Structure 1
Amino acid sequence: MRVHVITLFPELVEFYAGLSLVGKAREKGLIEVSATQLRDWACDKHRTVDDTPYGGGAGMILKPDVLAAAIDDVAGAPGTPGRMPVVFTTPRGRKFDSALARKYGETPEWTVVCGHYGGIDARVVESRATDEISIGDFVLMGGELAALAMIEAAARFVPGALGNAESAETDTFEDSLLGPPLYTRPPEFEGMAVPEELISGHHAKIAEWRRLKSLETTFRRRPDLLEGAELSDKDVKFIKSLKCSGNE
């Protein structure tokens, strides 16, 4: 997976992308992350990349001519054969989720444009973006953290990037459910013991316990996710029992 990031803060992107599992994956040659300074495409001596909004209002807007030039050089101009996907980070975009993380983790090469200031001129979004993505219902001061969150989530689906490939397939959201509670040593902490099922050595019991706890956690915290989950008859019966218990 090769990701190009167009940003006003390339040093931030390069620093973070050099750490932890993403950094190790880069060292192995499994992932490439390059950060490009948007100001390099500004033509004036002040390297101006923004201007005031038409119609008035607060904030400055990223200029379409500067941003379009950067995108075309990095990702290819619209209509260019083999042009890579161009993702804009914006609170106006569709919400990023595990399915999108997998999609981009399986995409060989893509570009992320980090929004900044008051936003991006709509004309460059319309003409250059293949996707607009938000990481949540809140506003950041810039799109760099959103871009890095996307890259890290996508990297989990790059073969070899994780120490255990099973992790990406069993994590929270992979089956539209929240994950079960997790435990490690010591077996007892502050009077709280690890559930007996997890130390039983009985794989079927462990799997059943995790499934039921995953269903229960999702039911209590994110019941909306259950609508998209693949549920067995046993799962449905268990959820009905939770509803009947009055613990919604």
Structure 2
Amino acid sequence: MKFDVLTLFPEMFEALNHSILKKAQENGIIEINPINIRDFSNNKHKKVDDYPYGGGAGMVMQAEPIFNAVDYIINRYGKKPYTIMMSPRGKRFEQSDAKRFLQKEHIVILCGHYEGIDERVLSIVDEEISIGDFVLTGGEIASMAIIDCISRLVPGVLPKEESYQDESFYDGLLEYPQYTRPEVFRGMKVPDVLLSGHHEKIRRWRKYQSLKITYERRPDLLNKKKLTKEEQDMLDEIIKSKEE
């Protein structure tokens, strides 16, 4: 899978050249290409911003360098890839979006900066995406989070499929508690069921704990998930125990 990232700060994406994503890039499973928008400015000083029409504080990114950069990508690959713009007005990114974007072989991510981007750029953007209701200096950090999330789902990036299928949000629930050695630490003991070796009991315990944590911390997620009969029975038991 290929990611082209249009940014004013390509050096920031060195952060993705580590750990799992580094190995995935070395193995040719994913490709991350930061593209400097300044390289496509027709201004001799590589200027890419200007004052906003109508007045106001700050500067606005110009449309021309961005259009030029997208034209470069289109000419290079022979077609326009699916294009995302990081924006606080965009749809909030969720795990389901990562699964959806996984179906795209090539994604372009546009990172905004300054006070915004010339609105005419939206004519070449397929989707605006946000990672939450807060403000960042630019779209780079947000785009890295999205690239990381999508990349983990690409076959071959993680050692086992189970590595991501058991993680929080993959099936719409928060993850169950995890433990490792030692069995007892400062008086705190690993739950007996995890030491039992009984796979079905462990599976049920983990499912119950996952539902319990989701109900307590993110009940909104339960409204989006279609529960199985087993899950519904467990949830009813959890709710009842809370009411007693």
TM-score by length of 1: 0.93
Residue segments in structure 1 that go unaligned for 5+ positions in a row: none
Please point out which of 174, 189, 196 is paired with 2:192.
Answer: 196
CA deviation vs aligned residue, 1:134-169 (integer Å, no higher than 9, x gap): 111111101111111111111111111002221122
What aligned pairs does 1:28-47 form with structure 2 within 5 A after superposition? 28-47=27-46
8 Å CA contact 1:178, 1:214 repeated in 2 = yes
- Name the structure 2 match of 1:97: 94
How much has 1:58 moved relative to structure 2?
A: 2.2
Please point out which of 110, 113, 119 is paired with 1:122.
Answer: 119
How much has 1:244 moved relative to structure 2?
A: 3.1
8 Å CA contact 1:91, 1:139 repeated in 2 = yes
How much has 1:225 moved relative to structure 2?
A: 0.5
Aligned partners of 1:113 and 1:99: how far apart in 2?
21
Q: In percent, how many aligned pairs have the same letter?
A: 42
Aligned partners of 1:81 and 1:3: how far apart in 2?
16
8 Å CA contact 1:75, 1:110 repeated in 2 = no
Pair 1:88-2:66 in alignment = no
8 Å CA contact 1:86, 1:129 repeated in 2 = yes
8 Å CA contact 1:105, 1:156 repeated in 2 = no
8 Å CA contact 1:61, 1:121 repeated in 2 = yes
How much has 1:230 moved relative to structure 2?
A: 2.3
- Name the structure 1 match of 2:4: 4
Please point out which of 82, 85, 110 is paired with 1:113.
Answer: 110
Aligned partners of 1:75 and 1:211: how far apart in 2?
46
Secondary structure at the counterpart of residue 245 of structure 1:
helix
The one-letter amino acid paired with 1:67 is: I
Residue segments in structure 2 that go unaligned for 5+ positions in a row: none
- Name the structure 2 match of 1:18: 17
What aligned pairs does 1:229-240 form with structure 2 within 5 A after superposition? 229-240=225-236
Indicate the RMSD between aligned Cα atoms, in angstroms: 1.9
How much has 1:81 moved relative to structure 2?
A: 6.8
Using the TM superposition, name which of 148-157 and 49-58 deviates more: 49-58
How much has 1:186 moved relative to structure 2?
A: 1.3
Using the TM superposition, name which of 82-91 and 233-242 deviates more: 233-242
The one-letter amino acid paired with 1:217 is: I
How much has 1:105 moved relative to structure 2?
A: 2.9
CA deviation vs aligned residue, 1:163-198 (integer Å, no higher than 9, x gap): 222112221111111111111111111211111111
Secondary structure at the counterpart of residue 42 of structure 2:
coil
Aligned partners of 1:75 and 1:190: how far apart in 2?
59
What aligned pairs does 1:45-194 form with structure 2 within 5 A after superposition? 45-75=44-74, 82-125=79-122, 127-194=123-190
Aligned partners of 1:232 and 1:161: how far apart in 2?
30
CA deviation vs aligned residue, 1:211-232 (integer Å, no higher than 9, x gap): 0000000000000100121212
Pair 1:219-2:209 in alignment = no
Secondary structure at the counterpart of residue 91 of structure 2:
strand
How much has 1:82 moved relative to structure 2?
A: 3.4
CA deviation vs aligned residue, 1:69-110 (integer Å, no higher than 9, x gap): 112212469xx9732101101111101111111222332111
Aligned partners of 1:58 and 1:193: how far apart in 2?
57
The one-letter amino acid paired with 1:150 is: I
Q: How many residues align?
A: 244
Aligned partners of 2:162 and 2:103: how far apart in 1?
16
Please point out which of 201, 217, 220 is paired with 1:205.
Answer: 201
Aligned partners of 1:83 and 1:42: how far apart in 2?
20
Aligned partners of 2:25 and 2:78: how far apart in 1?
27
